[in-house]
Amino acid sequence: MRIALFVTCLVDALFPRVGQATTELLERLGHEVVFPTGQTCCGQMHTNTGYAREAVELVRHHVDVFEGADVVVTPSGSCAGSVRHQHAALARDAGDDALARRAEAVAARTYELSELLVDVLGVFDVGAYYPHRVTYHPTCHSLRVLRVGDRPLRLLRHVAGMTLLELPEAETCCGFGGTFAVKNAPTSTAMLADKMRHVLGTGAEVATAGDASCLMHIGGGLTRLRAATRTVHLAEILASTQASGDRTGIR
């Protein structure tokens, strides 16, 4: 299968290893991954902060870039949720029904990584090896917008060498929420403290999730605590093999 990678702003700018891991994983499974170089922000942050007019132009660009792709994958439940649940609505609210229809067509072919692996490719065991104690945080957008359910956990349970530890109150938000963490810093910090307490209580070496944004928030808090637990994206774990070695910095 030929799969277009929608890498997202955050991965491109701050966590490039996540995009590389997504590509390595899918290529190992026998698929061709292409990277449309014209891609930019999907407009989620504009939409969520009230800049709908500006967001529509980003939707138009996103559609132009990915319209020719048979399948689009993104290592982000948040951005996949924006494409699937915001793009067409934004275009329609702007009075551009033609763009809305095009956006709906692209959205129907866009998947978060675990969705693509489980629902489209029918894969649960991706041949990963990751000899660490890991706990999984289901991010809000993947849980409530995309409803990925236990797909990431089903993939993680097949990772050789790994001990998967249940995270207490896993479905509680970590407190990031994009600009929420800036505009409501005290509340965000309190929510993060609860999440870190639960993560550290598992005794895990690694906390994983399908969104780099939430991992950035949790990881930043853990670093400030000088905790031994690190955050690693789901794609990086699934891309790890005995042959490739541990590229996540966990020993």
Is there a shared CATH topology between the 2-120 domain and the 133-239 domain?
Answer: yes
Which value, to the nearest 10 degrees, does the dihedral of the CA atoms of residues 35, 41, 43, 46 take?
170
Classify domain 2-120 at the CATH topology level: Rossmann fold (3.40.50)
The yes-or-no verdict on residue 251 having pLDDT over 60 is no
pLDDT at position 246, please?
Answer: 65
Q: Residue 160 contacts by C-beta under 8 Å, 6 or more apart in sequence?
A: 128, 129, 130
| Pair 106, 66: CB distance under 8 Å | yes
Q: Given a cut of 90, is residue 180 above it in pLDDT?
A: no
Whether pLDDT at 243 is above 90? no
Note the pLDDT of residue 204: 98
CB 234 within 8 A of CB 152: yes
- Specify the amino acid at residue 216: M
Distance of CA 231 to the CA centre of its chain: 13
Averaged pLDDT score across all residues of the chain: 94
Instruction: Kindly give, in sequence order, each residue whose CB lies less than 8 Å from that of residue 187, ignoring residues fewer than 6 positions away.
Output: 175, 180
Q: At residue 168, does pLDDT exceed 60? A: yes
Q: Write the CATH number of the domain with boundaries 133-239.
A: 3.40.50
What is the model's pLDDT at position 35?
97
Is the pLDDT confidence value at 247 over 90? no
Q: Tens digits of per-residue pLDDT, 89-126?
A: 999 999 999 999 999 999 999 999 999 999 999 999 99
pLDDT band at residue 171 under the 50/70/90 scheme: very high
What are the sequence ranges of the domains in the chain? 2-120, 133-239
